[in-house]
Every structure is written in structure tokens, then in C-alpha cells.
Amino acid sequence: MNSKKQHGHLIKDVVEGSIAMELEIEPGDRLLTINNEEIDDIFDYQYYEENEYIEILIEKPNGDQWLFEVDKDEDEDIGIIFENGLMDEYRSCHNKCIFCFIDQMPKGMRDTLYFKDDDSRLSFLQGNYVTLTNMSDHDIDRIIKYNLSPINISFQTMNPNLRCIMLNNRFAGDALKKVDRLYEAGITMNGQIVLCKGVNDGKELEFSIRKLTEYLPVLESVSVVPVGLSKYREGLYPLEPFNREDAIEVIELLHGFQREIYDKYGTHFVHASDEWYILAGRELPSAENYDGYLQLENGVGMIRLMLDEFQDAVTELKKSIRDGRVQLTERYCDEISMVTGKLAYPYILRMAEEMMTLIPGLIIHVYEIVNHFFGEMITVSGLLTGQDIIGQLKGKALGKRLLLPQNTLRSGEEIFLDDITLEEMERTLQVKTDIVKSSGYDFVNAILGEA
């Protein structure tokens, strides 16, 4: 339940040696106001906390209220940790988007996986994308007041009528007007278009990109990603997967816009996600084309960055071998294995082969895991489940260690999407498991046993 509705915000802990500890603010207390202002959420709190002089009203568990007058440095943190990090309930999405992946998930999974986020505050804090349909004028006012940026927006289309259809929300078209206010206030934005075949592609995509360029340079980038289609689509909007010819058409359209926009603004602005290049059988663009990798979390440039980091790491390793700082002893001549999804498999295999060439005696088995759980059209490693990995590795040569991509596990936990734990996997496969982050440097270090 919203802690504010319970009268104030529940304090979970205080930082050792902080102002809060000196004031004898304790876990179980509630923050009521700062400078006589009620606090809606973390952004209100951070805004008022930055002042050099603040008055904090705290309520003790017995109902007593204590008012503290605090003189501090402008950016000095009070040291309060709240029960709810956002200090408010998370706002769920009320749309019924034709492409929503959560609607394509099987029943019986843990409740948190079915939560549809559409919270502008998480856009700023965590990089989540929001549709703007869940935002009031007051929300826009606060974004502008607190200069919260960047805000990441799921545009899907700039055709208001089509947007209403795609989001199954009659207000979805009007919500685009909020972009004008953000633009006029200079709030940095990034955009996303989930492309659906026969819906918002072709001429509609061309129209949308043309309209979005009007928000440059405040709108820094737009990614175009293909819709993800699981096997659980009964009763949902009939969507078809893209093919090679479709991918080529999308890439050529976007590259045309890139050339035009770069000449005028010095940025490529609109980017195709990695899936398009792999589906089209095209080489990935160079690092310079990604404008600083603004949309890595959308799979835009992730593989290019990994490949370039890997080459840097290999170059440094070769230099260390030549200089005698690294001795290729038996320590590095392990037999190991690694798994990945279909999307990255050719690149992971290529990197593994280069490592085996560099280190004689090193054996790496790279296994491409087919996603039976969600369906074979889902090719990213982040949606692999423990049961698919276990089922497809049984009886395979795994060596001394199994390397797993970090994104197969829940953030901060050792558990897969289907609730199988890392410990269960190790016990079933009888192999030690190491987790590998997405960077090329971590890839090399993990193979060397130095992760």
C-alpha cells in the first residue's frame, strides 16, 4: 500500500554517521513534511532536500511529532532510506497494446512478471519507456519543474488515430501533445518505435520519423525495434514476424534518414536495433553510427559494443602475453562451455573461436539455446529460462565451468524467469556456473577465470 496514504513515508533505515542519525531519526519513523511541504514521492524529497536550510517534520511510532531545523551543505544527503524507494506506488499501464509482450506470457508465472509499468518517474530513474497516456498535466509540470531528464517515450507512431488503435486507448493520440510541452521546456527525450508488420511500418514509419525529427535536438534518439512475438498469442491481435526482405527495407529507410539528419544536425538520430541487421544478413554499423550508444537497453548497438570491447580486451591480452605479464600456463587451458540465445550466437561463437586460437589447449563449447518456453521467434538471451537451458545442455560436454549471460537472471538474484534457481541448475548439470556481464571485457575475463 502507498506509505503516504498511511500518513507520511515510512523510514526503513538511516545511514551510519548521517544527519538523520545525529537527529535520532530511526527506522519506523515517518517523514511528514519538508519545509512544510507534503512529499509525494522521491523527486519531491530530493528537490527539497537539496536546500542548505530545511525543516523536517518526523512522526514517531507513538504519534509524537518532532520538527528538526537543519543547516547543511546544499547537496548533502540527509541519510534517510525509505521503505519504498520511489516513495509512492508504481503506476501500471492501462493500455492494451497490440504488441505488449506481457500479454503474450503464459499463465502461472510469478505476479511481478505481469506488472505493466508506465511510470514516468521510472523513465528517469531506470530508463524505462512510457507511453504518456498515464501522465497528467501535473506530472508534466513536475518533470519540467525538477528538470527530470532524459524521459524515454514509447511513440510507436506519430499518427494519432493509428496510435489509438495500437495502444487500444482512445486518448493515446492526444497524449502526443505532451511531447510538445517537454520539447518547449528543453526536457531531453529518447524515443522508441516497436514496429509491427503491416501496421506502423512502411509509409507510416516514414511519416513517424519525419514528424519526430521536428523535436531535434531535444529528442536525442529514436530506436526502431521489431515486435517480439511469443507462442502465447491466442485471442490477441494477429501480428506476423518480419522476414529478411522486410529487415532490408527497414534498414535502408533508416539509413536514408540517418544520412539526411547527420548532414544537418551531426547526429544519426534514428537507429535500427541489432535484430534488423542479423535478420537482413547485414554487417552491424561501426561504433560511430550509434552516437554514443544512447539506446543500449533497447538492443541498439549492444553487439557492436561487445565486439569492439572484445577486440580491445584481446589486443591488451596479446600485449600482456608478449610482455611476459601473462604466462599461458595450464591455468588457462580449461575446457569450458557457454550458452547464448539465437540472436547473439554467431558473434559469441566467433569470439570463442578467437580465444581458442589465442590460447592453445583452451576448449570452449558454445551452445545456442532455442527458446521453447516462449517460442522459437524469441531469440534474445534475456528471455531464456532455466528449464530450456537445462533441457538442452543435458548430456552435452560442459567442461569445468558453464558461463551464463547475466541477463538470464533476475536483477540482483540467482533465479531465472521460470523460478528455477542457479543452484538447481548447477546441481542438475553437475557443473560450476559463472555469470558473465554483457561487455566484451567481461567475456574475456570470464574465459580466463578472472571475472
116 versus 213: which is more confidently predicted?
213
Instruction: Count CB-CB contacts under 10 A for residue 404.
Output: 23
Q: Which secondary-structure segment (H or E) carries 305? A: helix 302-323
* Cα radius of gyration rounded to whole Å, the chain: 25
- pLDDT above 70 covers a percentage of the chain that reads 90
Give the closest residue to 282 by CA, choosing from 256, 311, 263, 255: 255
DSSP assigned state of 93: P
Please state, in angstroms and rounded to a whole number, the distance separating the CA atoms of residues 208 and 191: 11
Give residue 100's pLDDT.
87
- The pTM of this model reads 0.82
C-alpha distance across the termini of the chain, in Å = 40
The neighbour count for residue 25, using CB atoms within 10 Å, is 22
Residue 122: pLDDT over 90 = no
Contacts of 5 (CB under 8 A, 6+ apart): none
pLDDT digits (tens, 9 = 90+) for 293-330: 999 988 999 999 999 999 999 999 999 888 877 666 55
Tens of pLDDT along 40-88?
877 777 778 888 899 999 999 999 999 999 998 887 888 888 876 665 5
Q: pLDDT by residue (tens digit) across 92-116?
A: 567 788 988 888 888 877 666 645 5
- Closest alpha carbon to 14 in 69, 82, 91: 82
Residue 256: pLDDT over 50 = yes
For residue 381, give the nearest of 441, 340, 322 by alpha carbon. 340
Grid coordinates representing 398 are: 560442459
In the structure grid, which three cell numbers stand for residue 380, read together?
534474445
* Architecture of the CATH domain 4-82: Roll (2.30)
- Identity at 9, one-letter amino acid code: H
The rounded distance, in Å, linking the Cα atoms of 169 and 105 is 21
Cβ atoms < 10 Å from Cβ of 272: 28
All cell numbers assigned to 26:
530511526
Segments in 113-159 forming alpha helices (H): 120-126, 137-145
CATH topology of domain 305-447: Rossmann fold (3.40.50)
CATH number at 102-298: 3.80.30.10
Helix (H) or strand (E) run with residue 181 in it: helix 177-184
Segment 267-296 shows an average pLDDT of: 96
Are 7 and 59 within 8 A, CB to CB? yes
pLDDT digits (tens, 9 = 90+) for 319-361: 988 887 766 655 666 899 999 999 999 999 999 999 999 988 8
DSSP bridge pairs for 434? 403
DSSP state of 301: S
Would you list the domain boundaries of the chain?
4-82, 102-298, 305-447
Helix (H) or strand (E) holding 223: strand 219-226
**Under 8 Å between Cβ of 388 and 370:** yes
